[in-house]
Amino acid sequence: MSLNGTNEKEEPRYIKLNAKDNVVITVNFGGLKEGTEFSCGLKLTEYVPQGHKVALKDLVQGEAIVRYGEVIGYALQPIKRGSWVKESLIDMPAPPELDLLPIANNVPEPLPLLEGYTFEGYRNADGSVGIKNILGITTSVQCVAGVLSYAVKRIKEEILPKYPNVHDVVALEHNYGCGVAINAPEAIVPIRTIQNIALHPNFGGEVMVVGLGCEKLRPETLVPDGEEEPIISLQDQQGFTNMVHTILEMAEGRLRRLNERKRVTCPASDLVIGLQCGGSDAFSGVTANPAVGYAADLLVRAGATVMFSEVTEVRDAVHLLTPRAVNEEVGRKLIHEMKWYDEYLQRGQSDRSANTSPGNKKGGLSNIVEKSLGSVAKSGSSAIIDVLAPGERATKKGLIFAATPAGDFVCGTLQLASGMHMQVFTTGRGTPYGLAMAPVIKVSTRNALTEQWHDLIDVNAGRIATGEATIEEVGWEIFHYILDVASGRKQTWTDHWGLHNSLCLFNPAPVT
């Protein structure tokens, strides 16, 4: 990556990422006006907003437009040197042909181990570790959500203060459970998601399920070994007040036990960290995502599990990932998830181009190809050791691709089901998104966003674009911040403000 100029406020700046690139992106906040000349002699023929692309040479119609050293599209008409390369001037290329991808032919060598890094977590009876101490109350059907919400409000007001070592009580509400084709093959996705979330390590093994009594998703399928003791069926209760009383009584017994949990020193290898981006812009693949990728490599070196996701934001860069699969089986699993999602989109008469949002485009991302090339930077440089279908639990340590849709809330829900303790979330446009079950570390791509949202952004990677910090320095900052948050020494802004979005299940099966 090369930076043009030395002072953002005094000199115009652009970023070129690869020697092959024939476009660059502008750095200066507010954009650059027509006639602006860079120190290399490049002169703008028109106003170009911050983060948008400028042609480094005259491009003829049909010529490849290259960023990240990869083709992101083809010129629909001649484009002059120094002009704004707008979305409307770019013809998006076809996605990589899945059956022709190289597999496991460039597996990265393991990086040197990082030893001695620890955090203070809650060791569970099954050997897993939590980083929060929470009572999670699962629902088996949406019908009970209103009663449970009322009960949880009472629990927080009347009971939780008696148990100061418990951080929160969370109602795991969702829109599934009945009115669905429960035996359809793809129903396994929402079912295993709910099952795995109920057993999240932050809940300390204290499973509790509130059901109705007539739903298709049987409550006993959500508890270990089909036990009935942790289940409350509202249709068995004598009226509303008795429903609430029964929930409060069962909750207090679990809160009493959770209150006895104590933090103990745990190796960093016990962590499961999820990676995600939302409100992405042209700086995402330049600053925040590469820094997170560096932190991901550090975590893998420390023995931890790291998950990156978002199928449509991987699909157009999958040719860069299959060579990193640790073996052919893992590479084939990655291709399988890409094919499955291609077919899923086709059934909905859509394709991967539907991913890119108006905000992405306003931030300088012309299409999903450009977005994907920046998105996969979060994965760092380690070998991919496993691939998970949506909602599957992670069982291996190292870098994993956990297949999910790219929507923030759906991805976050599925990563929780996979066992994620904490999520590192990069953003260029900004989003107050958060999760009640797991901390969300917000990493900004731009200085301007950090200044604007000074009480929502945890780590500022925008300093990389202005030359104030390196990718490595911000990567180490993120790594240490993860350990501090996991230990309870630091709190993310989303947890500080209590900004928690609802769970959002991915249900590709029919609704009846």
- What pLDDT does 3 receive? 59
> For 124-165, what is each residue's pLDDT tens digit?
999 999 999 999 999 999 999 999 999 999 999 999 999 999
Residues 6+ apart with CB under 8 A from 498: none
Residues 319 and 445 in one domain: yes
Task: Enumerate residue ranges in the chain where pLDDT < 70.
Answer: 1-10, 226-228
- What pLDDT does 5 receive? 47
Angle, helices 288-301/471-486, rounded to nearest 10 degrees: 60
Residues 168 and 282 in one domain: no
- What pLDDT does 227 receive? 65
- What pLDDT does 224 receive? 83
* Domain-terminating residue out of 226, 258, 290: 258
Residues 6+ apart with CB under 8 A from 171: 137, 139, 145, 148, 149, 152
Residues 297 and 246 in one domain: no
Residues 153 and 287 in one domain: no
Closest CA to 456 of 497, 425, 503, 411: 497
Between CA 10 and CA 12 the distance in angstroms is 7
Query: Are residues 412 and 390 in contact, defined by beta-carbon separation less than 8 angstroms?
Result: no
* Domain-terminating residue out of 52, 74, 93: 93
Whether 459 is in a domain gets the answer yes
- What pLDDT does 461 receive? 98
- What pLDDT does 2 receive? 61
Whether 505 is in a domain gets the answer no
Residues 369 and 221 in one domain: no
Whether 281 is in a domain gets the answer yes
Tokens of 305: 């599990």
Buried b (16+ CB within 10 A) or exposed e, 167-206: bbbbbbbbbbbeebebeeebbbbbbbbbbbbbbbbbbbbb
Angle at CA 67, nearest 5°, toward 11 and 55? 55
- What pLDDT does 221 receive? 93
CA 431 to chain centre: 13
Q: For the chain, what is the domain count?
A: 3
Residues 7 and 88 in one domain: yes
Largest Cα separation within the chain, whole Å, is: 80
Between CA 32 and CA 503 the distance in angstroms is 41
- Secondary structure (3-state) at 158: helix
- Residue 140 is part of which domain span? 120-258
Between CA 83 and CA 72 the distance in angstroms is 17
- What pLDDT does 225 receive? 77
Query: Are residues 454 and 469 in contact, defined by beta-carbon separation less than 8 angstroms?
Result: no
Whether 263 is in a domain gets the answer no
* Domain-terminating residue out of 258, 290, 308: 258
What CATH number is associated with residue 132? 3.40.50
Whether 508 is in a domain gets the answer no
What CATH number is associated with residue 56? 2.30.130.110
Torsion-angle region of 90 (φ positive above 0: left; ψ -120 to 50: alpha; else: beta): beta
Residues 74 and 130 in one domain: no
Whether 250 is in a domain gets the answer yes
Query: Are residues 300 and 113 in contact, defined by beta-carbon separation less than 8 angstroms?
Result: no
CA distances from 497 to 146, 163, 329 (A): 24, 21, 43
Whether 239 is in a domain gets the answer yes
Residues 31 and 175 in one domain: no
Whether 101 is in a domain gets the answer no
Q: In what order do the strands lie in the sheet with 90-91?
A: 64-67, 70-75, 90-91
> For 391-412, what is each residue's pLDDT tens digit?
999 999 999 999 999 999 999 9
Residues 254 and 290 in one domain: no
CA distances from 143 to 123, 179, 194, 366, 393 (A): 34, 11, 15, 42, 27
- What pLDDT does 1 receive? 65
CA distances from 271 to 106, 209, 326, 401, 497 (A): 27, 26, 21, 16, 24
Residues 336 and 482 in one domain: yes
Residues 217 and 294 in one domain: no
Residues 336 and 425 in one domain: yes
